[in-house]
Structure 1
Amino acid sequence: MTEANLNMKPDGFEEEKIFIQPEFMLKELQNHALTRHFHVSDIGFFPDAKFHYRERPKGCPTHILIYCVKGEGWVETHRSVQIQPRQLIVIPAETPHRYGASNENPWTIYWMHLTGTDAESLIQTYSLDNGPLPLTLNLHARWLEDVEQCYGMLSDKPYAMNNQIYVSQCIRHLINQVGFSLMHSLQDRKSERYLEQAVQYMTDRMTESLSLPNLASHLGLSKQHLIYLFNKETGVPPIEFYLRLKMQRAGQMLALSDKSVKEIAGSVGIKDPYYFSRLFKKIMGCSPTEYRSIPKG
């Protein structure tokens, strides 16, 4: 996984930006009420960081955040991962690690070191250490703007506590924004998976009668949450969606076969052909006989 070679180096890149808190400032930050639980100890920017490489067998006392703007790199902790553009990787404090830039397409990165109990809590709350984490274009723009501003404020007046407090709160807010957005993206992906599973379950049971409790039990969801998901994504409750699938299947059979209406009704799990006809007209807009007579294609 590693791409280290004889030219590997931790820093020293053209147009790089590095700020490391002076020792006296770290002590003040650790004692101030507004920064003791969360503050930046180091922050920087490495453009086109060819041969960039770091290795810390015993980990680092601070939490390391690396955001790749372009190019590629890799990070190795308990597992190895490739880092692509617009991806964030978080290495928790005291975690043995090594990382570096791709030889063929070296990364450009913004990085920072965070310390304090709130930094650890935020990482754990949003599972930010399960990266690499993709950032949206909006978050990407926010990251660049906020980190550049914070770097400028720290490098301009590192001794000014007001600047330090602002940077601490700004980066805290940025981490919250990223975590909150990623958390909701994950929830959306879970919702999509539940919906796909539900539709597949319905499709496999077109000849049966499916109840809401049965479907909810299969998915491991409450009936209320299942109804919420379907209303949100499809505009109709689950059982109505199921009936629409049945009528769409029935419409295909009407158009492509010579089966009777009664036979088609039975093929979609409806024993009463009169009920089937009423349901078909309600959903499809015309009776089964009228639908069959409509030219297709």
Structure 2
Amino acid sequence: MIKRKDGFSGERALVVPHSIIEEMEKHPLMAPLHITDIGYYPKAEYHYRERREPITQYILIYNVEGRGWYQLDGQKYEVKSNQYFILPAGKPHAYGSYENEGWTIYWIHFKGSLAEHYAQGASKPIDILPTIDSRINTRMDLFEEIYHTLEMGYSRENLLYACSCFAHYLGTLRYLQSYRNASYNDSISSDPIMITVHYMKENIGKKVTLQELADNLGYSASHFSAIFTQRMGNSPLNYFNQLKIQKACQLLDFTDMKINQVCFKVGIEDNFYFSRLFRKIMGMSPQAYKQMKKG
């Protein structure tokens, strides 16, 4: 069986230098909770990692698509789409994706005196399922903000901001319902079209079929497509593609991601198809858009 630690198309990873970690460990605001490694692996087929010698970091793995597994304390756990878990520091472990079912994961290694408190109860898989108030896409944007801040360099201000954002990020997972309630909008809770648009945004990085969108409302595919098109002036899947390209534009504008990385972030694996779709909707190539002066 093929086993790979890294080297996945569209992947990103950043390892904080040891000297910077030592600096954070001495700072009163950063010592309680700080990141040592952070990354994103899309469609990571044959992903595998085993550590027989324990490490000092906690490891958060948030699986947004696909299936995987991990072993801890002699027990094997199955990990489905929209689940996360945190491996405790100081314990041997192994994890990976299943053959032909590569998972898409956000992962963060972290340390500090508060780490064990945020990790409490998360050694088993925890569901983060899309709902009308789930705010999954907002959480993904927060991850990107942390990553981009660290990518801009290890100034004291960057490190402090990344640590502050990371505490918030962990809070969105640990205090899930409070996070969801914080911006719950009653006005869309009974509107099937707005429910669908919210579902699309929460699943912007995935392939979603017309039948899945209809099933989310309990409608037949034909009835759902008819009412959506009448209301929004576009078919559901065309509208979803517009949202994907809108998100791609934001990533091109506000991150340093390469175009092939942006593809995976919006759930499109084929670079050529992404470029054609982008040009069709925006009237220019992704490269031209990225170079265009705005504002």
Question: TM-score range, shorter-chain basis?
Answer: 0.5 to 0.7
Q: Deviations over 1:45-85 (max 9, x none)?
A: 01111111000113221000000111111111122111111
- State how many pairs are aligned: 176
Q: 2:110 matched to 1:114? A: yes
Return the alpha-carbon distance in structure 1 between the equivalents of residues 21 and 179 of structure 2: 35
2:64 to 69, 82, 86: 69
* Matching residue's letter, 1:98: A
Higher CA-based Rg: 1
Return the alpha-carbon distance in structure 1 between the equivalents of residues 93 and 119 of structure 2: 17
Compared with structure 1, are the counterparts of its residues 184 and 16 closer, same or farther at alpha carbon in structure 2 (3 Å cutoff)? closer
* Matching residue's letter, 1:36: A
* Matching residue's letter, 1:24: S
Identify the residue that residue 132 of structure 1 maps to in structure 2: 125
Shift of residue 142, structure 1, vs aligned partner: 3.1
Return the alpha-carbon distance in structure 1 between the equivalents of residues 17 and 23 of structure 2: 10
Q: CA RMSD in A?
A: 1.8
2:27 to 16, 20, 32: 32
Identify the residue that residue 85 of structure 1 maps to in structure 2: 81
Q: Say whether the 8 Å CA contact 1:51–1:100 is kept in structure 2.
A: yes
What SS does the corresponding residue of 2:69 show, helix, strand or coil?
A: strand
Compared with structure 1, are the counterparts of its residues 71 and 118 closer, same or farther at alpha carbon in structure 2 (3 Å cutoff)? same
Return the alpha-carbon distance in structure 1 between the equivalents of residues 165 and 61 of structure 2: 17
Return the alpha-carbon distance in structure 2 between the equivalents of residues 36 and 139 of structure 1: 29
Q: Say whether the 8 Å CA contact 2:139–2:172 is kept in structure 1.
A: no
Q: Say whether the 8 Å CA contact 1:139–1:178 is kept in structure 2.
A: no
Return the alpha-carbon distance in structure 1 between the equivalents of residues 179 and 11 of structure 2: 34
Return the alpha-carbon distance in structure 1 between the equivalents of residues 116 and 50 of structure 2: 21
TM-score by length of 1: 0.56
What SS does the corresponding residue of 2:175 show, helix, strand or coil?
A: helix
Identify the residue that residue 15 of structure 1 maps to in structure 2: 10
Q: 2:182 matched to 1:176? A: no
Q: 2:144 matched to 1:151? A: no
Return the alpha-carbon distance in structure 1 between the equivalents of residues 163 and 119 of structure 2: 15
Return the alpha-carbon distance in structure 1 between the equivalents of residues 50 and 3 of structure 2: 11
Return the alpha-carbon distance in structure 1 between the equivalents of residues 18 and 179 of structure 2: 39
Percent identity between the two aligned chains? 30
Q: Deviations over 1:175-212 (max 9, x none)?
A: 12311226999xxxxxxxxxxxxxxxxxxxxxxxxxxx
Return the alpha-carbon distance in structure 2 between the equivalents of residues 27 and 152 of structure 1: 21
Return the alpha-carbon distance in structure 2 between the equivalents of residues 142 and 81 of structure 1: 27
* Matching residue's letter, 1:33: P
* Matching residue's letter, 1:177: T
Return the alpha-carbon distance in structure 2 between the equivalents of residues 89 and 82 of structure 1: 11
* Matching residue's letter, 1:133: I
Identify the residue that residue 166 of structure 1 maps to in structure 2: 161
Q: Say whether the 8 Å CA contact 1:50–1:101 is kept in structure 2.
A: yes
Identify the residue that residue 282 of structure 1 maps to in structure 2: none
Q: Say whether the 8 Å CA contact 2:46–2:100 is kept in structure 1.
A: no
Return the alpha-carbon distance in structure 1 between the equivalents of residues 179 and 60 of structure 2: 21
Stretches of structure 2 lacking an aligned partner (at least 5 in a row): 181-295
Return the alpha-carbon distance in structure 1 between the equivalents of residues 103 and 163 of structure 2: 26
Compared with structure 1, are the counterparts of its residues 166 and 136 closer, same or farther at alpha carbon in structure 2 (3 Å cutoff)? farther
Q: Say whether the 8 Å CA contact 1:86–1:140 is kept in structure 2.
A: no
Stretches of structure 1 lacking an aligned partner (at least 5 in a row): 186-297
